[in-house]
Amino acid sequence: MKKKVVVLTGAGISAESGISTFRDSDGLWEQYRVEDVATYDAYLRNPELVLNFYNERRRQLFQVKPNEGHRQLVRLEEKYDVRIITQNIDNLHEQAGSTHVLHLHGLLTQARSDRDDNLIVDIGDRDIHIGDKAPDGAQLRPHIVWFGEAVPNIEPAAELCEKADYFIVVGTSMNVYPAAGLIHYVPRSTPCYLVDPKAVPISRPITIFQEKAGTGVKKVVDELLNQPSE
């Protein structure tokens, strides 16, 4: 059986594709306040502002492409059972060709019923407007996990982490919970790697490549492809 590589990615892996990160000084959230666009209360208060914010993110997604960081993770599938857990709401891992991607915080190309969280529809590049209805007649909302909402995929993600033979973290400040807590499910004996140009606080032994995903992910992938994989 192939060994399992579990990869936790954040906004940083998509930065070189041209999608702003969250907390860097030129990040997205310098221009918006989280509580105005990424909470359910904000949506109730001003649905048009929130829908437009995500419509803009979706339009931007259709103007960018996966970068070398995304592509290198696909290369890893030659020898390993690779499972990507991403905090990103873009689909650049899938566009690059990764076959197992678990989205913790939802996906821009999907929408769901305001009344039924399990009624999810593919919308591709289409905007969501007030009055757009889900099949149950309720208003469509972005299929995004907003701050303060439950993260339904956290359990399957934790199960993946428990089975990791190798664990790689790319481009996340490890500030957003519960995603940041996933590393605690990774067995102590599992070799861990981190790729991020900034120093990220991680309280366990980890091999650090303090550089951008475009160059750093290749170094980790080269190292793992040189290991016995079964």
If the CB atoms of residues 24 and 114 are measured against ligand NAD, the closer one turns out to be 24
The binder of ligand NAD chosen from 50, 200, 220, 221 (CB under 6 A): 200
Choose, by CB under 6 A, the member of 5, 6, 7, 16 that binds ligand NAD. Answer: 16
Shortest Å distance, C-beta 187 to ligand NAD: 23
Residue 105 known to be catalytic: yes
Q: Which amino acid is at 205?
A: P
Angle, helices 213-225 vs 68-75, to 10°: value is: 10
Q: Binding-site residue total for ligand NAD (CB under 6 A)?
A: 31
The continuous run of DSSP H or E covering 45 comes out as helix 40-45
Decide: is 212 part of the binding site for ligand NAD (CB under 6 A): yes
Other C-beta atoms lying within 10 Å of the C-beta of residue 113: 20
Q: For residue 178, is the peptide bond before it cis, meaning its omega torsion is within 30 degrees of 0? A: yes
- Could you say which of 5, 6, 22, 83 contacts ligand NAD (CB under 6 A)? 22
Which backbone phi and psi does 229 adopt, to 5 degrees?
Answer: -100, -5
Q: Under 8 Å CB-to-CB from 67, ≥6 apart: which residues?
A: 13, 14, 16, 17, 92, 213, 214
* Residue 89 touching ligand NAD (CB under 6 A): yes
Q: Smallest distance, Å, CB 3 to ligand NAD?
A: 24
Residues recorded for the chain? 230
Alpha-carbon Rg for the chain, nearest whole angstrom, is 18
Give the full edge-to-edge strand order of the sheet including 120-122.
120-122, 106-113, 140-144
State which of residues 8, 28, 37, 154 lies at the interface with ligand NAD (CB under 6 A): 28
State yes or no: residue 151 binds ligand NAD (CB under 6 A): no
Task: Output the smallest distance, CB 90 to ligand NAD, in A.
Answer: 4
Which of these is catalytic: 103, 105, 129, 184? 105
Where does this chain bind ligand NAD (CB under 6 A)?
10-16, 19, 21-24, 27-28, 87-90, 105, 171-173, 175-176, 195-198, 200, 212-213
- The residues annotated as belonging to the active site are 105
